[in-house]
Structure 1
Amino acid sequence: MKRLYYLTGNLDSTEQISNDMHQAGITDWHFHVVSKDEAGLYRRNIHAANLIQKHDVIRSGERGAMIGGVVGLLLTAFLMATEPFGPDVSGFVYVAAFGCVTLFGAWVGGLAGLATENHAIAQFHDDIHAGKYLIMIDVRRNQEERVRSLMAEKHPEAKLMRVGSTFVNPFEFVKAKPA
């Protein structure tokens, strides 16, 4: 799925966009708003982005799992070569050691991601802090043109800032191109 990032300056516009998207068949599962005015979003029943969407938990967790997997492989190879538990150890012990180190890496990566702003919305940090509303709309390829047309026609005050993906790529270091 694609994610369309729109930026608007006020809560009234955000509420109307939310209503129009719901009428167009976009559910709350595919519509998220990032704002410093969480209470305003709540009062008007606008679907705010959750913790995972605001922070880099998934991407950092995936990176941590990859690092943990590499360390786990090295540890498992070391354990197999040195046989510290004796020669009659089941292969399950080595698999368990690899799994534990990999899961530990994912856990540590996820915790690190909680301390980091989501890489996709970090470029909008100053705008959000200034009181603007970042609207993220997840669309299928066949819905994209219809949503873009609807936004251009009914909400010219909302600017399309970026087109991204809902897929979390742990290798992505470069920000996606603006819309």
Structure 2
Amino acid sequence: MKRLYYLTDTIDSTESISKDLHLLGITDWNLHVLSKDDDGLFRHHIHGANTLQRLDLIHSGEQGALIGVVIGLCIGVALMLGKPFGIALDLIAIGAIVALFTLFGTWVGGLSGLSHESYKIKRFHDDLDAGKYLIMVDFRKAREPDVVQLMENQHPEAQFAGKDTTWINPFKFAHEKVSH
């Protein structure tokens, strides 16, 4: 799925955008708003971003898993070739070593991600600190013209802030800010 980012200055504008996107057929499942004002979002019945969208849990967990796989393979191959205990390890033992390191890497990466904001929203950190509202709209590619047209025609106060996918790429780090 694709994702468009928009920034607004007020909760009223955010609420109006949310209502119009719902009328367009964008459900709460595909509409998320990130703000310092979580209470305001709740009072205005605006779907806020969840923990997985706010924090880097999945992204860091994926990176940890990849590092764990590499370390597990290196240790497994070294143990298989070196036979340090005088016993030849079979593929099941090597697979268990790789799985153990992969799980450990995922766990450590996930814990690390709990203390960092998502790499996808890091570029909006200063705007969010300034009190702006980040609207994230997810949609299938065929719906993009409808969403863009709605935002341009009915909500010129919303600043286009970027375009991305919803896929979390473990090989990417913080994005650069995109202008319209």
Question: Is TM (by shorter chain) over 0.5?
Answer: yes
Aligned partner of residue 124 in structure 2, secondary structure: helix
Residues 1-179 of structure 1 correspond to what in structure 2 (within 5 A)? 1-84=1-84, 87=87, 91-173=91-173, 175=175, 178=178, 179=180
Structure 1: distance between partners of 2:89 and 2:148: 61
Q: Does the CA-based 8 Å contact 2:79-2:89 persist in structure 1?
A: no
Structure 2: distance between partners of 1:89 and 1:76: 9
Q: Does the CA-based 8 Å contact 1:9-1:131 persist in structure 2?
A: yes
Q: Does the CA-based 8 Å contact 1:11-1:133 persist in structure 2?
A: yes
Structure 1: distance between partners of 2:77 and 2:89: 14
Structure 2: distance between partners of 1:174 and 1:52: 16
Aligned partner of residue 48 in structure 2, secondary structure: coil
Which range is displaced more, 51-60 or 30-39?
A: 51-60
Q: Does the CA-based 8 Å contact 2:30-2:137 persist in structure 1?
A: yes
Identity %: 51
Q: Counterpart of 2:67 in structure 1: which amino acid?
A: I
TM-score scaled to structure 1, two decimals? 0.92
Structure 1: distance between partners of 2:89 and 2:175: 47
Q: Does the CA-based 8 Å contact 1:64-1:110 persist in structure 2?
A: yes
**5+ residue gaps, structure 1:** none
Q: Does the CA-based 8 Å contact 1:164-1:176 persist in structure 2?
A: no
Q: CA deviation at 1:91?
A: 3.5
Q: Counterpart of 1:95 in structure 2: which amino acid?
A: G
Structure 2: distance between partners of 1:91 and 1:172: 32
Q: Counterpart of 1:12 in structure 2: which amino acid?
A: D
CA distances 1:4-56 after superposition (whole Å, capped 9, x unpaired): 00000111111111111111110111100000000111122211101110111
Q: CA deviation at 1:90?
A: 5.1
**5+ residue gaps, structure 2:** none
Q: CA deviation at 1:177?
A: 6.0
Q: Indicate how the Cα distance of structure 1 residues 20 and 148 shifts in structure 2: closer, same or farther if over 3 A, else same.
A: same
TM-score scaled to structure 2, two decimals? 0.92
